[in-house]
Amino acid sequence: MQLTRRNAILMGAGAILMTGLPLRASAAGEDAIAAFTGGAEVGEGDIKLTAPEIAENGNTVPIEVSSDSAAEILVLALGNPTPAVATFKFGPLAASRSASTRIRLAGTQDVVAIAKLEDGSFVKASTTVKVTIGGCGG
Amino acid sequence: MAEGVKPRVKVPKTASAGEVIVIKTLISHKMESGQRKDGDGNVIPRSIINRFTCDFNGENVVDVTLEPAISTNPYLEFEATVPASGEFKFTWYDDDGSVYEEIKKIAVE
């Protein structure tokens, strides 16, 4: 197919249609991130998110977050009906800035962890988890 | 109302001063997400544990906000420093206002 202006417009419209639904689903996630960071820029760096590549059962997916200098870590599941999962705040007696838990995932999606570091900056890690059986009912 | 809620915590009985210990907690709770429907198509109301804290002699170790995306029987694992003998206090806050507490003593040798 020759790339004419008309074709380019058609392709663009198709792309918008295809991404329309996921865009709406992740808007709540972006809101949650903005509420946590206060609109600050989120970089990459000192944060690790461990989750299985494939989860057979979305009802209980083990995850682990860790960061050496985080004061708080927010975990989000962007494809869930409500994206918030948990917020970990570490006190003076926390030996490491890490925690494990088990979460529910509605389907295959990105799980995101955002850490607020002690210097006030934010870093992010994300991983995609493939879910065979969703875990949010419905 | 959540029924049959039972906290379980694993903490070593002894440690040396300043040692790092791993704490594992689990509380049996159905954690109804508010997304499920019953047989008649009615939404089952949300009933979750929304907050968990762990303190040692009054000093905070972790304070976790839990959302409906946390699995049934919420499990949490984290690490704590033990400065001296004392007790760990674990608290779970339920949506219905109930508060569940568990205390574990640890001795520093």
Nearest Cα residue in chain B from A81: B35
A45 vs chain B: nearest CA distance in angstroms? 21
> Which amino acid belongs to residue A72?
E
Residues of chain B in contact with residue A110, where contact means CB-CB under 8 angstroms, are none
Q: Across residues A57-69, what is the average pLDDT?
A: 93
Give me the pLDDT at residue A21, please.
47
**B106 contacts B12 by C-beta, under 8 angstroms:** yes
Q: What is the pLDDT of residue B99?
A: 95
Asked if B69's CB is within 8 angstroms of A80's CB, the reply is yes
Token pair belonging to A101: 């838990």
- Which value does ipTM take for this structure? 0.91
3-state secondary structure A5-66: HHHHHHHHHHHHHHHHHHHHHHHHHHHHHHHHHCCCCEECCCCEEECCCEEEECCCEEEEEE
Which pLDDT score, from 0 to 100, does residue A20 have? 46
Residue A2's pLDDT band (boundaries 50, 70, 90)? Answer: low
Q: How confident is the model at residue A137 (pLDDT cuts 50, 70, 90)?
A: low
pLDDT level of residue A12 (50, 70, 90 thresholds): low
> How many angstroms separate the CA atoms of A25 and A21, rounded?
6
- Could you tell me the pTM of the whole model? 0.84
What whole-number distance in Å separates Cα of residue A13 and Cα of residue B26? Answer: 49
Average pLDDT, chain A: 85
CA dihedral sign, ordered B59, A36, B75, B81? negative
Cα separation, B76 vs B66, in Å, equals 11
pLDDT score for A23: 47
Q: How far is A2 from chain B (nearest CA, A)?
A: 47
Q: Please name the residue that has the structure tokens 């008649």.
A: B40
Q: Please give the angle made by the CA atoms of A73, B12 and B66, to the nearest 5 degrees.
A: 25
Tell whether the model's pLDDT for residue B46 goes beyond 50: yes
Instruction: Find out whether A102 and A86 touch, Cβ atoms under 8 Å.
Output: no
Alpha-carbon distance B51 to A15, whole Å? 41
Distance from CA of B89 to the nearest CA of A (A): 13
User: What's residue A17's pLDDT?
Assistant: 52
Mean pLDDT computed over A49-54: 94
CA distances from A54 to A22, A60, A95 (A): 20, 12, 30
Q: Is B27 helix (H, G, I), strand (E, B) or coil?
A: strand
Phi/psi of residue A33, nearest 5 degrees: -65, -45
Would the CB atoms of B59 and A95 count as touching at under 8 Å?
no
Cβ <8 Å between A96 and B20: yes
